[in-house]
Every structure is written in C-alpha cells, then in structure tokens.
Structure 1
Amino acid sequence: MRRTTLATLTLAAVLLGTQPASAETATETAKGWEPAPSAPWDVGAGVRCDFPVHGEPVVDEVVRRVLSTYPDGSVRRVAYKGDLVVRVTNTGTGASYDADASGSAVVEHRPDGSQLWAVHGPVLVGVGQDQGSLPRGLYLVDGVYTMEISPTGYKSVRLLHGTTDDLCARIG
C-alpha cells in the first residue's frame, strides 16, 4: 500500500505542481530528496542489441530519498522520481531515440544483493542474453509493474498494466 501511495503522490505532484524545476529541486532537497544523476553508458554489439549502443542523459532531474536502512546503515529501501530523458544511439549508424524514462520507483535492496523494484511509469531496462523474462534487448517499460533482479542479475519484469517498447528495433 505504501508503494502505491508514494507513486500516486509523486504523480500528483508532477501533474499539479506549479513551481519551476529549480525551485522544486530546492524544495525536494529540503525534504530529504537528493540528486541521483545517471552516467552515460556504452554496451557492445550483441550485449543488448545486435549493434553497439550508447546512452546519454539529455534531461536528468532524478532525485532519490532513502526510506529505510538496515541496522548497519546500508540502504534498504529508496524512492526515485524525476524527469529523465536518455538519448539512446546506435553507434554504428548514428540513429538515435530520446527515451523518456521519467518513471518513479521504490527499490528494495536485499542483503543477498537482489533488488525488488515497484515502478510506476517508464524506466529504461537492459536485458542480457538469457538474463531476464524479456528477450535480450533494451526496453522502455512503462506502466505499473515490478521488476525483481536476482543476485546474478536476472531481471524478471511483471507487468500489472503496461507496455514494453523495444528500443533496439527503434534505432536498428
């Protein structure tokens, strides 16, 4: 229930908010939210798509808030929200697509290294060969769903209501 409430409140704040982004970011920081920037990344041919891919944030206003910690102080549960647009480029041809991955999520980090994501909205998900419930690829998964990541990196996406957009096909 708490996860649903957080996603609903986050969506309401985004839809109803009237402050400029810079004022909103300052307000969020004061409420315990901190910037969570995304780094550019590269994957070789065959890792996600049949060709090499580069990802680069062109809009990155993602913030995170630690919701709970383990007794040793390590993060147990963290919430993420904010605008994120990643330019995904086929480095072989130069074809690109700006993927809006501005979803919100609550991520539970487990002691065994696994994670459980409760997501509302679009998130960029990369899946290796035989490493997920989705075929190898790079996807924009949108909707209401969970994603479980095992300690070995296997990603199991369970859509309650949503879609998957194959970005390899978009830029291939």
Structure 2
Amino acid sequence: MPLIRDIAEADCVVAEELLYSNDLGDGRSYYPGDLDVIVAELCGSVVGVAEFRLDYDFGHDKGREAHPGKQAFVLTMAVAHTDRRRRIGRALLTEIAHRAQEAGLTFLALVPQDGDGEADRQAFFQACGLTRYGPNSPGAAWGCPVSEVLVANAVGVEES
C-alpha cells in the first residue's frame, strides 16, 4: 500500500512530470498555490499526485442543479503509468474522502478528463463509488457521498 502524504517542495518536479505524462500539466515548473495536494509514495518514489479543494462550491453557478452544496472537489489525479492497478488511485481518492469527512463535508465530486482513456477513467471512478450526476454531456460532474467512497474503497475491489 502506498504512503499518502502532503506534497513537499521537493516533490514538485515529479508531480509536474506525473501531471504532464497524463495530459494534465503543461511541462512548466509546478507550484500548487492554494490547492490541497497529496502524493502517493512507493518505495521512496512519488508515483501519484492529486489536487483537490475542501469546502468547494461546484454546482449551481455551473448549471449543476443536482449539486449538493459545499463539498470536496478533486481537480486532478495522476498515477505513473507503470504503477497503475496497484490501488494508488484508490488510496489517493480515499485520503481525500477521509480529509473531507474530517472537515465535516459529506459529498465528493470531480469531472473526469475527456479524451483518450475517458472510458477507463470513468470506470475507475465508478468502481470507487462515484456516479455521474446532472446532464450526460462532456464535462459532466461525477460524485457521491464521502461515506460511499470510503465504503467502496475499504473492500478489496481491484482498481481499474
């Protein structure tokens, strides 16, 4: 199981490489700014990164009437291609859910990246307990109660 921890300054180069290799970064110097960022570490190497916001309102102003109000929102998640299917993505998402629960939030949401691999990403998030809410269109939001993410990832379901 990977070690999940807050990002350190020394991790920023690897975080950008992970994001860039997953078509989520621009290849420039990475600086998390005011985002919450965690990394997954295996055998001393960072192999995953997730950017998120706690207490984020991602809904009505974006036309998402089904939106439940303040929530945890995952902006980006990336796992090294060589380390996929090792429960790293699940561990990152589960840590975000734990932090959301500790902050008193009850819902976790995200918008899966469109394009190549979209079906695989959606299958992964569905296996982690999330479902699409609102209109079925590009950029559709996915989410579920934090408790469902924690339950779905407590069982031994193999990561997609």
TM-score above 0.5, yes or no: no
The structure whose RCO (Cα within 8 Å, separation 6+) is larger is 2
The structure that is strand-richer by fraction is 1
Normalized against structure 2, the TM-score is what? Answer: 0.33
Specify the structure having the higher radius of gyration (Cα). 1
Task: State TM-score, norm by structure 1.
Answer: 0.31
- Is the helix fraction higher in 1 or 2? 2
